[in-house]
Amino acid sequence: MRLDKTRAAIVTGGASGLGEATARLLAKNAVRVTIFDMNTERGTKIADEIDGHFCKVDVADVESVSVGLAQARAVHGAERICVNCAGIAPGEKTVDRDGNYHDPTHFARAININLIGTFNVASQCAAGMVKTDPAGADGERGIIINTASIAAFEGQVGQAAYAASKAGVVGLTLPMARDLARNGVRVMAIAPGLFMTPMLAGLPTQVQESLGAQVPFPARLGTPAEYAALVQHIVENPMLNGDVIRLDGAIRMGPR
């Protein structure tokens, strides 16, 4: 699918990190971008800078997603591109040093935002995409790109909730792509490794460098711009469908 002013996109988590970089790159290619995020101040600022639109949306809430999509469609028309970057990265062991078990509400929150939130937006965007006219030689109607994580495959100590939620995103990819194949809608996922997201950016420089040194090549943290570049390639390459691409510099995470 080509990127131009005839395309509208939804980017969740677009107020920072991977989502912000994606929103900016899509807008740079003339795509009409709507940012979904809970950070109204930051989201509005970025939307203004890219001549886009902002909606305060809780991805874990079905009605909030529905209202946000209605607003986005009223401003930009039907979405053809959906990129899900909204998520949280909690850390909590199954049993802590004092013998307390993992708080189930914390586990549920990770699943609700990272997995169910991704599904809510993806499924509702898909429902909109299948109603659009097919475009191009292949008759494509849309592309959905979800964000998994290498933790889905190599979850570390304290990542039970996070890894489970991201593994769910991985498991969602192929069946959803198969569901939507007859409608001309593709579904992909990206599994980033160690990236300079707001969470890591808040760590001391020495810690950032230590983490980056664990990456075989290039021996550094990934940048949000590199994630966005892969999003662009996936959108533009129609043969990419139903799979998860690791974006990790060949790192394989150890237990800690």
* CATH number of the domain bearing residue 23: 3.40.50.720
The verdict on residue 61 lying in a domain is yes
The pLDDT value recorded for residue 204 is 83
Provide mean pLDDT across the span 20-38. Answer: 98
The pLDDT value recorded for residue 139 is 94
Give the residue among 165, 6, 163 at the shortest CA–CA distance from 78: 6
The pLDDT value recorded for residue 209 is 87
Give the residue among 76, 170, 180 at the shortest CA–CA distance from 127: 180
The verdict on residue 1 lying in a domain is no
Contact (Cβ atoms closer than 8 angstroms) between residue 33 and residue 27: yes
Structure tokens at 186: 């593709």
Q: Is the pLDDT of residue 7 over 80?
A: yes
Give catalytic residues, as residue numbers.
162
The verdict on residue 223 lying in a domain is yes
> CA 56, CA 98: separation in Å to the nearest integer?
39
> CA 128, CA 141: separation in Å to the nearest integer?
10
The verdict on residue 255 lying in a domain is no
Quickly state the pLDDT bin for 205 (edges 50, 70, 90): confident
Contact (Cβ atoms closer than 8 angstroms) between residue 93 and residue 131: no
The verdict on residue 122 lying in a domain is yes
The verdict on residue 232 lying in a domain is yes
Please report which residue ranges of 50-204 form alpha helices under DSSP H. 62-76, 104-110, 117-129, 151-154, 160-180, 198-201
Domain of residue 148, residue span:
8-247
> CA 242, CA 256: separation in Å to the nearest integer?
30
Give the residue among 248, 186, 247 at the shortest CA–CA distance from 216: 248
> CA 26, CA 10: separation in Å to the nearest integer?
10
Span 46-61, pLDDT tens digits:
999 999 999 999 999 9
The verdict on residue 252 lying in a domain is no
| Helix (H/G/I), strand (E/B), else coil: 31 | coil
Which sign does the torsion angle of CA 36, 59, 252, 160 carry?
positive
Please count the structural domains in the chain. Answer: 1
* pTM exceeding the 0.85 threshold for the entire prediction: yes
The pLDDT value recorded for residue 198 is 83
The verdict on residue 3 lying in a domain is no
Contact (Cβ atoms closer than 8 angstroms) between residue 228 and residue 171: no
Supply the DSSP symbol for 80: S
The CA-based diameter of the chain, rounded to the nearest angstrom, is 61
> CA 256, CA 244: separation in Å to the nearest integer?
24
Span 180-198, pLDDT tens digits:
999 999 999 999 999 998 8
Contact (Cβ atoms closer than 8 angstroms) between residue 43 and residue 37: yes
The amino acid at 189 = A
